[in-house]
Amino acid sequence: MGAFVPDGYVPHVQDQINSRFAVGDALKEMIGFQKEFKLFSLAHSLCSSFTLLNIAPVGEKDRDGFLRYLEMLRKTGAQVNGKPTKYNGHDQIIVTLKDNLESKSPLPVFFDYHPGEKPTGQVLVTIREAFVFSSTNYLTISVPTVKPGRKKKK
């Protein structure tokens, strides 16, 4: 994400996303949004869904960069539990969130980042403990970032 959004905003956006899918009332709210509005569906882009949830950096330029990053995920691959999927990274995130929120036992969701293996990287979906201080399993969605050494946006 470093090429699209200044480094200082990345943790802020990550916190916004993770707060929306956290254990408890936040997750219940997202389940309700999914049931009522089908917020996560291949009929909607991640840009549309995250914009409706007001998830993005504050500044217009940085918001545009974040939304471009979400669109760039259409050019990435995706893996679920280490196996390639038929979806691109963008669509895999949507399908993963949809399936989770509509399941009988939805898990809290943790968004994470990892260095991109190649310029287009991979979206990685797993179920794991997201925090060393908790034994709660999370649906974890890790998105690729700019490789170290690449020019980052200032």
- pTM (2 decimals)? 0.86
Q: Tokens 């219940």 label which residue?
A: 28
Model confidence pLDDT, tens digit, residues 71-82? 999 999 999 999
43: Cβ contacts below 8 Å, ≥ 6 apart: none
Higher-confidence position of 28 and 146: 28
Check whether 21 has a pLDDT greater than 70: yes
Are 124 and 92 in contact, with CB atoms under 8 Å apart? no
For 19, counting Cβ atoms within 10 Å of its Cβ (0-12 exposed, 13-18 middle, 19+ buried), the class is: exposed
Q: What is the mean pLDDT of the chain?
A: 85
Check whether 13 has a pLDDT greater than 50: yes
pLDDT band at 8 (very low <50, low <70, confident <90, very high): low
